[in-house]
């Protein structure tokens, strides 16, 4: 990446734009802005053919104003220290915006996971965990990783198993990482959390009639045309929830290319099934192949959701982007220069540090579950069901009418873990959106600047309350 497009510099530009709207002195602002510490490790791993490969990895802890720090670990061939530092900074601001009591962190291992066997990936993951533990860069009260690009529940299971072997007396050891399988202390709803959070955030934005009218749109998601870049965990669930809400998915992009179906739309599950059979989303029945994956970004649509990697919409292609709403499901998909150009054109940009906070929000719920050693809903689900039945029986007695058995069962059901998790996520995203929108209106700034104002102010107040800065 050329120096003028360095990721951390992009994040810093957004920070510097928002900082003057906060009351904090220069020294505190600089402390909030810069990364506390970065650990770079290089270790050897023996491959299945007997050769040795040196693996490079990083873990950045951007801010310890709240502990533990929190952030995913990605496996990507383009990973580097600048990227990890920028992503850690975004995690700090993201957690602050949605009132999750973590500092920001991020990790990366510089590999293409598709080039390694499962056994090799396990050895890499366990060794990286050992390296983090040896420098106190992991632990339920210190630093809590999670899945990211190229990783998932499998890798998190290897991490927690390795950590527990190194810290056998750690009673809260399961809380050293989130995004785990259910059997390893995971939580229902974590897999789809980021995509569901994107959906909740876009839904709230689209329900504000004046903001939609300013862009020639009607309120609501139903009927709006959507293009999603990335068909991984975030992109898939984002597309799925949009589709279920009545939006029309007209374009999808993945590393192998992009497809476009402007008339009938695409069924995301059918596309995933097609890709599983053929190895590609291309040549999907009823869709047109586009020359490259990047061409999906310039399709005419109401909502464009880049859910892959950073720096996808740049100064080089921004003038060809024809969406009226940009929903940043990925971290940093729009560069700072491109962002300014979009604002000049009155495009509504829903910023990453708010919009994709669903993952860390539900990770927080998982962490709480691990520390409390109690599944959400276990204490109250049956009591709630019994109370609901009593109310329904009282209504029956007063009206001299009986509810059908199926209605009685559906209405009286108590909230389980997934219900409570999704409810908490929805509340977080709804409150977060209207908080940053109110700041945007108060200061006459865009939503991204408002989100940074919110984050800086909350972090600054944390330091002030501790008496560290005036």
Confidence of residue 4 (pLDDT cuts 50, 70, 90): very low
Task: Name the band, by pLDDT with cuts 50, 70 and 90, for residue 42.
Answer: very high
Using a 10 angstrom Cβ sphere, with 0-12 exposed, 13-18 middle and 19 or more buried, the burial of residue 465 is exposed
What would the CATH number be for the domain defined by 188-377+415-470? 3.40.50.720
The pTM (predicted TM-score) of the whole model is 0.90
Residue 234's pLDDT band (cuts 50, 70, 90): very high
Tell me the pLDDT tens digit for each residue of 379-399.
777 777 778 777 877 887 888
The residue from 17, 33, 94, 106 that is catalytic is: 106
Task: State how far the Cα of 3 lies from the Cα of 9, in Å rounded to an integer.
Answer: 9
The answer to whether the 35-186 and 188-377+415-470 domains have the same CATH topology is: yes
Q: What is the arithmetic mean of pLDDT over 447-456?
A: 97
Q: If you average pLDDT over residues 259-278, what whole number do you get? A: 94
pLDDT tens for 240-260 read 999 999 999 999 999 899 999
**Is residue 68 packed enough to be buried (19+ CB in 10 Å), middle (13-18) or exposed (0-12)?**
buried
Q: What percent of the chain has pLDDT over 70?
A: 98
The domain 35-186: what is its CATH number?
Answer: 3.40.50.10860
Contact 70, 91 (CB under 8 A): yes
CA distance 284 to 266: 9
What is the rounded average pLDDT of the residues 332-348?
Answer: 94
Of the candidates 154, 22, 5, the one whose C-alpha atom is nearest the C-alpha of residue 86 is 5
149-201 per-position pLDDT tens digit: 899 999 999 999 999 999 999 999 999 999 999 999 999 999 999 999 999 99
Average confidence score pLDDT of the chain = 92
Q: What is the DSSP letter of 252?
A: E
Per-residue pLDDT at 80:
95
CA distances to 27, 97, 224, 335, 338 from 354, rounded to whole Å, are 26, 7, 22, 16, 19
Q: How do residues 351-377 score in pLDDT, each as one tens digit?
A: 999 999 999 999 999 999 999 998 877
Any residues with CB less than 8 A from the CB of 366 and at least 6 apart, and which? 178, 179, 180, 185, 186, 187, 190
Q: Percent of the chain having pLDDT more than 90? A: 83
Q: Where are the domains of the chain?
A: 35-186, 188-377+415-470
Question: Active site includes 106?
Answer: yes
164 Cα distance to chain centroid: 26
Q: What is the mean pLDDT of residues 282-309?
A: 93
Query: Do the bridges between strand 52-61 and strand 103-109 make them parallel or antiparallel, or are there none, so unpaired?
Result: antiparallel
């Amino acid at each position: 990446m050329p120096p003028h497009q360095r990721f951390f510099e992009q994040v810093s530009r957004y920070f510097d734009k928002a900082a003057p709207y906060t009351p904090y002195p220069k020294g505190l602002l600089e402390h909030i802005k810069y990364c506390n510490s970065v650990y770079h490790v290089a270790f050897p791993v023996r491959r299945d053919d007997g050769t040795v490969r040196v693996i490079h990895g990083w873990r950045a802890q951007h801010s310890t104003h709240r502990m533990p720090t929190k952030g995913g670990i990605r496996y990507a061939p383009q990973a580097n220290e600048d990227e990890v530092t920028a992503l850690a900074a975004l995690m700090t601001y993201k957690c602050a915006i949605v009132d999750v009591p973590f500092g920001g962190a991020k990790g990366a291992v510089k590999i293409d996971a598709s080039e390694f066997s499962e056994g090799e990936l396990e050895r890499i993951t366990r060794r990286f965990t050992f390296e983090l533990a040896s420098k106190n860069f992991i632990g339920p009260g210190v630093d809590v990783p999670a899945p990211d690009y190229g990783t998932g529940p499998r890798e998190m299971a290897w991490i927690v198993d390795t950590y527990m072997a190194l810290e056998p007396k750690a009673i809260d050891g399961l809380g050293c990482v989130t995004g785990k399988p259910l059997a390893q202390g995971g939580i229902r709803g974590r897999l789809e959390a980021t995509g569901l959070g994107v959906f909740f955030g876009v839904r709230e934005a689209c329900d504000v009639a004046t903001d939609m009218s300013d862009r020639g749109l009607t309120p609501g998601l139903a009927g709006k045309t959507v293009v999603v870049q990335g068909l991984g965990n975030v992109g898939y669930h984002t597309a799925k929830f949009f589709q279920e809400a009545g939006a029309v998915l007209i374009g999808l992009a993945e590393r192998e290319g992009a497809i476009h179906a402007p008339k009938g739309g695409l069924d995301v599950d059918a596309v995933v099934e097609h890709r599983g059979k053929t190895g590609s989303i291309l040549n999907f029945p009823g869709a047109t192949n586009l020359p490259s994956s990047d061409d999906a970004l310039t399709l005419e649509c109401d909502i464009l959701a880049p859910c892959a990697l950073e720096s996808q919409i740049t100064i080089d292609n921004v003038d060809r982007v024809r969406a009226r709403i940009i929903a940043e499901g990925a971290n940093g998909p729009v560069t700072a220069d491109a962002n300014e150009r979009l604002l000049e054109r009155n495009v509504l940009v829903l910023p990453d540090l708010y919009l994709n906070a669903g993952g860390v929000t539900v990770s927080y719920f998982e962490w709480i579950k691990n520390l409390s050693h109690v599944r959400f809903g276990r204490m109250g689900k049956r009591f709630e069901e019994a109370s609901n039945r009593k109310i329904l029986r009282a209504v029956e007695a007063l009206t001299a009418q009986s509810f059908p058995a199926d209605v009685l069962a559906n209405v009286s059901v108590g909230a389980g873990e997934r219900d409570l998790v999704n409810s908490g996520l929805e509340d977080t995203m709804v409150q977060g959106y209207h908080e940053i929108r109110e700041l945007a209106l108060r200061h006459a700034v865009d939503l991204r600047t408002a989100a940074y104002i919110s984050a800086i102010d909350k972090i600054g107040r944390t330091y002030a309350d501790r008496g560290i800065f005036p």
